[in-house]
């Protein structure tokens, strides 16, 4: 209700132009200040989406003659941003720290700027990146460290600050990428970091320069949601409690509220999703090109809005009704 009230109070539905032409609405400046404070950063810059934030930021930081090292399972927005930059791209196997270190060392020896990219929570697998060890590798090899916190902000850490807070490396992350459309329930994306980084992006991030600013109504909604997140930890605690109970029911510890169930065949995965929807639950099928062929999966995403009855439904309809199809051993997280 507080978020909806904030939207209704907004007098502006759209921003009408890019911020460089139309100026900065007070609502977007207030949101950026709040985001910077929440992320323990000097400054923040809001984009029209998380995708726009990624494809604008990475090419602003690196280019031809530079290097980007990234995890194989990084989100498409990070991959696309790296490709657009023109930098040399090197990919390491998922969470393979030894290979990551080797690639960083080789790239550092060749000169040029060096950027290390990872997600905090991998959106299709639900597992965590070892941010503390990756931060140490970035520091060792003189690389900028950029972390996509889209599925971690508002969920992980004592304050909900995200994966960097959980691992105690907030000061070691040079570029924090976030979205306003997940835990904050609005629209848009943002980058948090140093004041110098913000100034650079305002002048060099093409997805910021040549895009209409975020609507003030969306800014107000995100600001209201952020205020709730800061003032009331009970929804986050509720979510962690649900996650713990689901872990207990499955007999294995789940790292995050994203729980993927590997099916494999794409058609069968879609049929399962449709069957479960008919039984009263939304468990979306994730297929190629979002995941590789033969790796189709159902993705369960817990939220604080779920109830004990919802967990009972999962246990009854998903895990027990078709044990061959929904074996707990096929959970990827």
pTM of the model: 0.91
Those residues whose C-beta lies under 8 Å from the C-beta of residue 77, and which sit 6 or more positions away, are 50, 51, 53, 54, 55, 148
Q: Which domains does the chain have, with CATH numbers?
A: 2-231 (3.40.640.10), 234-330 (3.90.1150.10)
Go through 266-295 and write b for each residue having 16 or more CB atoms within 10 A of its CB, e for each that does not.
beebbebbeebeeeeeebebbbeeebeeeb
Per-residue 3-state assignment (H helix, E strand, C coil) for the chain: CHHHHHHHHCCCCCCCCEHHHHCCCHHHHHHHHHHHHHCCCCEEEEECCHHHHHHHHHHHHCCCCCEEEEECCCCHHHHHHHHHHCCEEEEECCCCHHHHHHHHHHHHHCCCCEEEEEECECCCCCCECCHHHHHHHHHHCCCEEEEECCCCCCCCCCCCCCHHHHHCCHHHCCEEEEECCCCCCCCCEEEEECHHHHHHHHHHCHHHHCCECCCHHHHHHHHHHHHHHHHCCHHHHHHHHHHHHHHHHHCCCCCCCEEEEEEECHHHHHHHHHHHHHCCCCCCEECCCCCCCCCEEEEEECCCCCCHHHHHHHHHHHHHCCCCCCCHHHECC
pLDDT given at position 10? 64
Go through 9-18 and write b for each residue having 16 or more CB atoms within 10 A of its CB, e for each that does not.
ebeeeebeee
Per residue of the chain (333 residues), give pLDDT as tens: 677 776 666 656 666 778 887 778 899 999 999 999 999 999 999 999 999 999 999 999 999 999 999 999 999 999 999 999 999 999 999 999 999 999 999 999 999 999 999 999 999 999 999 999 999 999 999 999 999 999 999 999 999 999 999 999 999 999 999 999 999 999 999 999 999 999 999 999 999 999 998 999 999 999 999 999 999 999 999 999 999 998 888 888 899 999 998 889 999 999 989 988 998 888 899 999 999 999 999 999 999 999 989 988 888 888 766 545 444 435 544
pLDDT given at position 315? 83
Those residues whose C-beta lies under 8 Å from the C-beta of residue 3, and which sit 6 or more positions away, are 185, 186, 221, 224, 225, 228
151 classed as catalytic: yes
Considering Cα of 29, then 30, then 35, then 40, what sign does the dihedral take?
positive
85 classed as catalytic: no
Q: Could you tell me how far CA 83 lies from the centroid of its own chain?
A: 19
User: Which of the following is catalytic: 39, 151, 295, 306?
Assistant: 151
- CA gap 304, 233 in Å, rounded: 11
189-193 and 43-47 strand pairing: antiparallel
User: Which of the following is catalytic: 39, 75, 141, 182?
Assistant: 182
User: Which of the following is catalytic: 48, 77, 85, 123?
Assistant: 123
pLDDT given at position 27? 92
């Amino acid at each position: 209700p507080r978020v909806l009230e904030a939207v209704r109070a907004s007098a502006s539905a759209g921003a009408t132009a890019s911020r460089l032409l139309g100026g900065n609405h007070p609502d977007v400046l207030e949101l950026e200040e709040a985001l910077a404070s929440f992320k323990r950063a000097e400054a923040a810059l809001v984009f029209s989406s998380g995708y726009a934030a990624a494809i604008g930021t990475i090419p602003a930081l690196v280019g031809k003659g530079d290097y980007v090292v990234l995890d194989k399972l990084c989100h498409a927005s990070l991959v696309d941003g790296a490709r657009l930059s023109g930098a040399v791209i090197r990919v390491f196997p998922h969470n393979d720290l030894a290979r990551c270190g080797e690639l960083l060392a080789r790239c550092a020896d060749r000169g040029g700027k060096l950027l290390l990219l990872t997600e905090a929570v991998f959106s299709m697998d639900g597992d965590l990146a070892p941010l503390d060890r990756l931060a140490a590798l970035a520091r060792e090899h003189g690389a900028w460290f950029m972390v996509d916190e889209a599925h971690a902000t508002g969920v992980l850490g004592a304050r909900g600050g995200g994966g960097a807070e959980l691992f105690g490396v907030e000061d070691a992350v040079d570029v924090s990428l976030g979205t306003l459309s997940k835990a904050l329930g609005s629209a848009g994306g943002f980058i948090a970091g140093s004041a110098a980084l913000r100034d650079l992006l305002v002048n060099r991030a093409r997805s910021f320069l040549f895009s209409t600013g975020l609507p003030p109504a969306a800014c107000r909604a995100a600001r209201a949601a952020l205020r709730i997140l800061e003032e009331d930890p009970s929804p986050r605690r509720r979510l962690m409690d649900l996650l713990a109970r689901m872990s207990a029911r499955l007999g294995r510890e789940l790292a995050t509220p994203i729980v993927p169930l590997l099916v494999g065949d794409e058609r069968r995965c879609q049929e399962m999703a449709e069957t479960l929807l008919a039984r009263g639950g939304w468990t979306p099928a994730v297929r190629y090109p979002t995941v590789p062929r033969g790796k189709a999966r159902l993705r369960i995403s817990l939220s604080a809005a779920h109830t004990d009855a919802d967990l009972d439904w999962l246990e009854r309809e998903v895990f027990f009704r078709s044990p061959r199809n929904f074996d707990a051993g096929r959970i990827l997280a």
